[in-house]
Amino acid sequence: MILDDGGDLTHWIYKKYPNMFKKIKGIVEESVTGVHRLYQLSKAGKLCVPAMNVNDSVTKQKFDNLYCCRESILDGLKRTTDVMFGGKQVVVCGYGEVGKGCCAALKAMGSIVYVTEIDPICALQACMDGFRLVKLNEVMRQVDIVITCTGNKNVVVRENLDRMKNGCIVCNMGHSNTEIDVASLRTPELTWERVRSQVDHVIWPDGKRIVLLAEGRLLNLSCSTVPTFVLSITATTQALALIELYNAPEGRYKQDVYLLPKKMGGLQAHSIYFSRQRSLICSVQSHSPK
């Protein structure tokens, strides 16, 4: 079995040791990027074994992408910059599950939050949640923090970076490390100054500087901790997918990409719910008078 995050192991085996697929029963993938790679292989007819898309399971989308990012965005920014969020103007690029978590956390801390989004449904959700929909260039000169959450590439390009105001913090919460066009900043006229681990000041000839975090890599993996509760849920989801693929009778899964069966996700959600209820009841009982 292959247990993958990002599709790197699958890609490596496919390129270096393709004969190994004769002995492999299936692939379990948990990231947006890795799932995208699997769908590309399937479309091209090159996927040799069944694959399970864990990224789009409810427990992964909601717990890891939404609730975990809601906490880790604040943690990562605080650890690296000690910024105060109240009154800060922030633009969040993308209003998927990760963007929703980031926006909710920043709004709760008193930040003024703008959202950019190309998907009409996600844009409508952002509007209904009380966020102002903008184009990036409309607010680039005034915002204090820019956060990418799309999983796409070249979301913030050199033109946007040139327009940012002095002291703007730039970071990435999406899976792709090319959401911010960092390569365009490595030019002779710009000076890089390492302030502390994972924090660089990029300085323009006129003295303007932006604060770039983790060189555009994933902020919550580079600069903050991830709650163990969330990790345990994601790991359990992956384990269920491995068990399902391994024990499936011949012919149930063909050489294609599948979602984790809804029944398994539902059972897991129920177990999470009851475990949290138990914790709450125990907490109340421990504080009750004898």
pLDDT of residue 58: 79
Q: Which of 189-193, 261-265, 279-283 has the highest mean pLDDT?
A: 189-193
**Are the CB atoms for 176 and 33 separated by under 8 Å?**
yes
Residue 185 makes CB contacts below 8 A (sequence gap 6+) with: 158, 161, 192, 202, 212
- Tell me if residue 251 falls in helix, strand or coil: coil
Q: What digits encode the pLDDT tens for the residues 86-128? A: 999 999 999 999 999 999 999 999 999 999 999 999 999 999 9
pLDDT above 90: residue 67: no
pLDDT at 282: 56
Point out the least confidently predicted range of 75-84, 178-187, 247-256, 276-285: 276-285
What's the whole-number average pLDDT of the chain?
89
Determine contact, residues 200/212, Cβ cutoff 8 Å. Answer: yes
User: How far is 185 from 44, CA to CA, in rounded Å?
Assistant: 36
Strand order in the sheet with 51-53: 2-4, 27-29, 51-53, 257-259
Q: What is the pTM of this model?
A: 0.80
CB count, 10 Å around CB of 268? 19
Q: Side chain identity at 60, as an amino acid letter?
A: K
Residue predicted with more confidence, 177 or 200: 200
What 3-state class would DSSP assign to 119? coil
DSSP for 253-268, written as a single string: S-SSEEEPPHHHHHHH
Q: What is the pLDDT of residues 249-278, one digit of tens each?
A: 888 999 999 988 777 666 666 566 556 555
Residue 12 and residue 4: Cα distance in Å, rounded?
Answer: 11
Domains in the chain, CATH or no CATH each: 2-56+228-269 (3.40.50.1480), 63-223 (3.40.50.720)
